[in-house]
Amino acid sequence: MAEGSRSPLRSFVEVAPGSHFPIQNLPFGVFRRRGSPEPEPPRPAVAIGDFALDLAAVSDAGLFHGPLLSASPCFRQETLNMFLGMGRPAWKEARATLQKILSADEPVLRDNEALKKKCLVPMSDTEMLLPITVGDYTDFFCSVHHARNCGFIFRGPQTPVNPNWFQLPVGYHGRASSVIVSGTDIIRPKGQGHPTGDSRPYFGPSKKLDFELEMAAIVGPGNELGKPIDINDAEEHIFGLMIMNDWSARDIQAWETIPLGPFLGKSFSTTVSPWIVTMDALKPFTCEAPKQEPEPLPYLAEKNHVNYDIPLEVWIKPKEQSEPSMVAKSNFKHLYWTLTQQLAHHTVNGCNLRPGDMFATGTLSGPETESLGCLLELTWNGQKEISVGNSTRKFLEDGDEVILTACCKGEGYNVGFGTCTGKVLPALP
């Protein structure tokens, strides 16, 4: 067999082995050059190796030739929302153009030093920004392991999972204003916790600060109010995925949550990774979705019922330790209700989705002890400790940095998400 016929796609940009960002990936983000004398406006990019490819510069150079993008201002915006709204044909055109101009065989960028300098910005010179304006953010609750553990912890062993859970993807509206990009510090929230005995409720810094290992899907075109999206069209509306940490203050959450659900226990910060990995890049990592029993109602029954095999890890770096330690290892594939089922359910009542809306999966716990996606589950609500390097934790302490990462292993390449990080600062006085 000739070498050429099986050589994988390769870029002229050097990509270290093990990099999350080879030419097979090309996740989208928004960056600003660090330390330019005058602040530049943010601009869209894709990641390639250790570089951000500046899509405004690529656009200015006239390298987007295709019918949908050649005259579009979508890459001269400060967020990806316009591009998201253009839908899958534009996404495919962008990916094809970018894979071509970055490939080892294509001279247009490779052999133009001046243009290369303009377009390829070393990641060390970039500040990554929140790449989308989030109109609405919905948090689902779609890992059965997480649902079972939370039910057990909060409601006891009788009916850990409420009967509706197996009939519909349970979700709630999250807070959009406090969605922030990886690297932003988290100030420990203050709030009320359960009273003990006849006393007043606790008020002060949360004593049960937690992370939640999640992924967030980013919505493309969306729908008009009143017009549901059919389950078999749903994938046309999902652009890609980010890693997400749904920081949670368990004491605030437990006290406030009856009867209307989570509110201030969650709304103080929600961190997302800067890069959105496209569903097109994730296609090779498609896998079978968990069998659903009972069978879903017809509006949730889909022809293409798939998940994605995305290994996930959680690391914690305490302030006084020089290295982070892994505390959990899970996988996106544990999701019981697929992204497309979530989207069809979300719109079945006519609710409108807009480009840039975020759907989070809920905590992606798996079945094993080490695959639990939050400290609530790992320490069984603080009843036991886990070890973190040479220390232990029940909940997060000031100075702890939480690092989530996700990376799909392909044949000879990765499709990775980078990291989603945040460090806990003490509560304000």
Active site residues: 146
β partners of residue 187: 425
Binding to Ca ion by residue 246, rule CB under 5 A? yes
Of 321-350, which residues contact its own copies (CB under 8 A)?
345-346, 348-350
299 binds, among Mg ion, Ca ion, its own copies, none (CB under 5 to 8 A by kind): its own copies
Which residue intervals of 227-332 are DSSP H helices? 250-256, 279-282
> Is 214 part of any known ligand binding site?
yes
How many residues does the structure list for the chain?
A: 429
Binding to its own copies by residue 146, rule CB under 8 A? no
Binding to Ca ion by residue 139, rule CB under 5 A? yes
Give least dist CB 275 to its own copies, A.
22
> Is 190 part of any known ligand binding site?
no
Alpha-carbon distance of 220 to 238, in angstroms, equals 5
> Is 270 part of any known ligand binding site?
yes
**Of 64-72, 74-82, 211-219, 404-412: span binding Ca ion (CB under 5 A):** 211-219
**Taking a C-beta distance cutoff of 8 angstroms, is the pair 108, 116 a contact?**
no
Give least dist CB 300 to its own copies, A.
9
> Is 266 part of any known ligand binding site?
yes
SS3 state of residue 284 = helix
Binding to its own copies by residue 264, rule CB under 8 A? yes
Among 4, 5, 41, 200, binds its own copies (CB under 8 A): 200
Tokens 């002229």 locate to 12
Give least dist CB 395 to its own copies, A.
16
Alpha-carbon distance of 100 to 141, in angstroms, equals 39
Number of residues that bind its own copies (CB under 8 A): 66
- The string of DSSP codes covering 117-148 is HHHEEEGGGEEEE--S--S-EEEE--BHHHHH
Give least dist CB 169 to Mg ion, A.
18
Tokens 């995305």 locate to 310
**Taking a C-beta distance cutoff of 8 angstroms, is the pair 382, 388 a contact?**
no
> Is 313 part of any known ligand binding site?
no
Among 212, 313, 357, 400, binds its own copies (CB under 8 A): 357
Considering only CA atoms, which of 220, 221, 223, 188 is closest in space to residue 207?
188
325 membership: H or E segment, kind and range: strand 325-331
Determine phi and psi for 52, rounding to 5 degrees: -105, 125
SS3 state of residue 145 = helix
Residue 262 vs 418, nearer CB to its own copies: 262
212 binds, among Mg ion, its own copies, Ca ion, none (CB under 5 to 8 A by kind): Ca ion
> Is 302 part of any known ligand binding site?
no
Residue 236 vs 246, nearer CB to Ca ion: 246
| Buried/exposed code over 406-424 (b: 16+ C-beta within 10 A; e: otherwise) | bbbeeeebbbbbbbbbbbb
Q: Is the dihedral of CA 395, 400, 401, 406 positive or negative?
A: negative
Among 54, 136, 212, 357, binds Ca ion (CB under 5 A): 212
**Taking a C-beta distance cutoff of 8 angstroms, is the pair 191, 235 a contact?**
no
> Is 253 part of any known ligand binding site?
yes
Alpha-carbon distance of 38 to 33, in angstroms, equals 10
Give least dist CB 95 to Mg ion, A.
30
Task: Detail the residues annotated as belonging to a binding site for Mg(2+).
Answer: 246, 266, 270
Task: Detail the residues annotated as belonging to a binding site for substrate.
Answer: 155, 253, 363
Report the interface residues with its own copies, using CB under 8 A: 135-136, 141, 150-151, 154-155, 162-164, 167-168, 170-178, 180, 187, 189-192, 195, 200-201, 203, 225-228, 249, 252, 255-265, 267-269, 294, 297-299, 345-346, 348-354, 357, 428
Report the interface residues with Ca ion, using CB under 5 A: 139, 212, 246
